[in-house]
Structure 1
């Protein structure tokens, strides 16, 4: 979701800047702008002295400008932190045993781990997310359990089978995991 919002915002801001910059450049090169445009010719300024001093005497003007700029700055910083912070691990460093290493795509390991956890007895659905560093990954596992399954048994199977296989196949010393277990809710059926 954040990736979609990020791309849409970058696209809108980029398009607005391109249109505004292109129109200023075109007017500067001598193209006649429409009558409703913000400036009329190549020697016209964007903000006249009267436009710049127009709101100076009003008491609300400078606090409103400062508040708007502060909100814009906070939104830009939030956006930057959200873009730079990676929630999902892109790759896992696999020890090949020869002193070298190989890189395994994080999504591939997530997919295999989720498929194996989903095949466990009593698990209706499984989702896996890898976080951490590429040499020390951590797993977040969400399991939806059938109503007849004991959560302790499901957790034991997850750690001894799915997580152990993933840890061994990737050559990791450990694969810490956080598991969230939920029961599947079935709709009530009418008995006739």
Structure 2
């Protein structure tokens, strides 16, 4: 989706710039422009003084200009932040043995891995996100560990159980994973 939005926005921006540049260039190169042309020659200005000051006295002018600029800035910020967001994998191609394959929803596979990871001893919470291509997904795993949990043992069981089950059930050759472990905050016990 983001790729399509990027292409449409870049295409529209390019089209507007090419058309505007062509119109100004045509008016600047020669006096033989048609009568309906917005500018009549190289000495003509893009906006006359009367056109620039036409709406200034109206009470609604400045709020509309400010609102339009705020909307433009917010849209530009949304677009910029969307560039850094990594899209989750929508579907995984599962080899079904008939040569065509089947599609497994990425969220369903994430939910299964999350459920198995949260069932592990010492795991308080788990978040899984699949990225990459549908034929070669990668997993980003974030685990919140209980205070008593052994990180090494939890990591070993996660890779041997939850991730191996997901890889085998989806018929994947491999499931590369990035695993981030965090410990749950806890207070020290008081001795009485």
Q: Is 1:138 the equivalent of 2:138?
A: yes
Identify unmatched segments of 5+ residues in structure 1.
1-46, 55-68
Counterpart-to-counterpart distance in 1, 2:74 and 2:124? 42
- How far did residue 190 of structure 1 move? 6.3
Unaligned runs of 5+ in 2: 1-46, 55-68
Kindly state the Cα deviation for residue 149 of structure 1 after the two structures are TM-superposed: 1.8
TM-score by length of 1: 0.58
> What corresponds to 1:33 in structure 2?
none
Partner Cα separation in structure 1 for residue 156 and residue 84 of structure 2:
36
Counterparts in 2 of 1:94-173, with a 5 A limit? 94-173=94-173
The CA deviation string for residues 4-55 of structure 1, in whole angstroms up to 9 with x for no partner, is xxxxxxxxxxxxxxxxxxxxxxxxxxxxxxxxxxxxxxxxxxx98513268x
Work out the CA distance in 2 between the residues paired with 1:85 and 1:101. Answer: 29
TM-score (norm 2): 0.58
Cα distance in 2 between the residues matched to 1:178 and 1:93: 21
Task: Please report the RMSD computed on the Cα atoms of aligned residues, expressed in angstroms.
Answer: 3.4
**C-alpha distance in 1 between matches for 2:77 and 2:146:** 43
SS at match of 1:159: helix
Q: In structure 2, how many angstroms separate the alpha carbons of the residues matched to 1:166 and 1:176? A: 11
- C-alpha distance in 1, partners of 2:80/2:148? 46
- Map 1:1-192 to 2 at 5 A: 50-52=50-52, 76=76, 79=79, 82=82, 86-187=86-187
Per the TM alignment, residue 84 of structure 1 is displaced from its structure 2 partner at its CA by: 10
